[in-house]
Amino acid sequence: MEIKYEGNNAGLRLSDLTRFGEVVIQCHDNPDADALASGFALRWYLGRKGVPARFVYGGENRITKSNLILMNENLGINCEHVDSLEMPELLVTVDCQYGESNVTLFSAKNVAVIDHHQISADIPALSEVRSNYGSCSTVLYEMLRAEGIDINEDKNVATALYYGLMTDTGDFTEISHPSDRDLRDIAAFNKALITLFRNSNLSIDELRIAGDALKNTTVDEKRCYGIVEAGMCDSNILGLISDMFLEVDGVHSCVVYNILPSGIKYSVRSCVKEVRASELAAFLAENLGGGGGHLVKAGGFLKKDLIVKAGVRYEKEEISRFIAARMNEYFDSSEILYAGEYRQDLSEFAFYRKKAIHAGFVRVADFAGPGREVAIRTLEGDIDVTTAEDTYIILNINGEIYPISRSKFESFYRVTDEPYVYPGEYPPNIIDNATGERLPLLPFAGSCIATGGEGIFAKEITGRVKVFTEWDPDKYYLGRKGDYFVVRADDPSDFYVIEGGIFAKTYEKCEV
């Protein structure tokens, strides 16, 4: 079977940097583990290509955190602190963007940017910014992979990138992109060094910061959430405080934050299925930065310039009121619906049938015997599936993926002989949860056409709706304004959410 993959083309390739004879790699002032790992991996690549490169950082302060000093020394990173630079032929900023307030401005004949933060201003043509990645380490991992280079060829590089991702995602709790999960799972890191770095991360002062923060908590008893402001500390400390706070009776979710010169870093926790920590983190960051993570642990960052642009004064009391208002908005604006416990009045719904659109499908039995627990790694997250003879996987019009029973597949789709072309950004993989074995899903994919089936009733969502479906009662599907709430015509207890743009492409209104 012929398989084609149409993904997004990268802007900058690492090989584009090899045409410069002299390169300086710069990370942001007060570098963290992700910045050190990213610059180290880039210098390693350039060295393999015979291009000499220095790795530097500026600013008033030198690296003082124990884990970073150990990382710098044990992995041979050797990032230099400099006050000035003679104008290099090429300056590459990693884990930051040239001209930002946290990056010392050095002149250069040419500038390139490799980063994973939100774009805050104009960036040069030589740039690769992937704002949906959890770390710049992941950006370097994917760029190296695009050049055919395995990071595990050098254990120090693999260890650095693994640790950079780990620290920038709160011990992997804030991972949202499948490439982050790939780096986490694939890196053949030095376990002894990771243990050393992790156990050198907390200072006595930071321990005191955690204790002081927990003395000043705010709890909303009606909505069962808590808020804590912490002092200046590493993001891992925010996670530590969050974990402790969540153990308080009556606190079902919480956000712990600190105010930094460049923005607000925050950690989110939840212990109830009605609040996905990743979704709450993303809500807090909407239009102000970025947030994401796991069901119970997540985090994010609000950029100072975007906060101020939104009309919020960047001072302690105003920020405290702003975060509380944002939390209240989150809880008060969401309707929660449970399949099997809810019957929708269909008088305001219209009847639709699926258009004859092309899609892909996979029979689970084609890649796994029955009874295996596997995860399908997709851009939307890992989908856990217990393999069965009658389970199919649909690869929909925009690359989104969901499981379906054989009977429903045969009611809604017709198999064709055409080659399948996957339209998504990230080609999905299958991971055996027991063995860790990884297989690409697309070689098992065939083409099909939607036939319309029994049809659906649907109406546009005007607010926020959390829908717990029949096939996954423990995780909700979020519907936002402009999406559609859908009820199957042949089974009113089976309802779900379809994103607005996808709905317009896949359904058409019909007479009942």
**Lowest mean pLDDT: which of 64-78, 428-442, 478-492?**
428-442
Do 218 and 272 share a domain, yes or no?
yes
Q: What share of the chain is helix, strand, coil (3-state, %, to 5)?
A: 30, 30, 40
CATH code of 137's domain:
3.90.1640.10
Judge whether residue 440 has pLDDT over 90: no
- Residue 158 located in a structural domain: yes
Task: Tell which residue, 66, 92, 322, has the closest CA to residue 204.
Answer: 66
**Lowest mean pLDDT: which of 48-57, 271-280, 493-502?**
493-502
Do 43 and 173 share a domain, yes or no?
yes
316 CB-near residues (< 8 Å, 6+ apart): 229, 259
**Sheet containing 446-450: which strands, arranged edge to edge?**
401-405, 391-395, 358-363, 446-450, 413-416
Number of domains into which the chain is organized: 3
| Confidence at 2, pLDDT banded by 50, 70, 90 | very low
- What's the domain range around 67? 3-198
- Residue 134 located in a structural domain: yes
Q: What angle do CA 401, 404, 410 make, to 5 degrees?
A: 120
Do 252 and 368 share a domain, yes or no?
no
| 138 vs 497, residue with greater confidence | 138
- Provide the mean pLDDT of the chain: 87
Arithmetic mean of pLDDT, 424-430: 81
| Confidence at 380, pLDDT banded by 50, 70, 90 | low
- Residue 341 located in a structural domain: no
Is the Cβ–Cβ distance between 58 and 83 less than 8 Å? yes
Is the Cβ–Cβ distance between 218 and 228 less than 8 Å? yes
Do 149 and 244 share a domain, yes or no?
no
Do 298 and 190 share a domain, yes or no?
no
Do 153 and 34 share a domain, yes or no?
yes
Q: Quick check: helix, strand or coil at residue 497?
A: strand
| Confidence at 350, pLDDT banded by 50, 70, 90 | very high
Give residue 381's pLDDT: 67
Give residue 294's pLDDT: 67
Q: Is 436 left (phi over 0), alpha (psi -120 to 50) or beta?
A: left
Arithmetic mean of pLDDT, 267-275: 92
Domain end: 301, 332, 363, which one?
Answer: 332
Strand partners, 55: 25
Q: Quick check: helix, strand or coil at residue 388?
A: coil
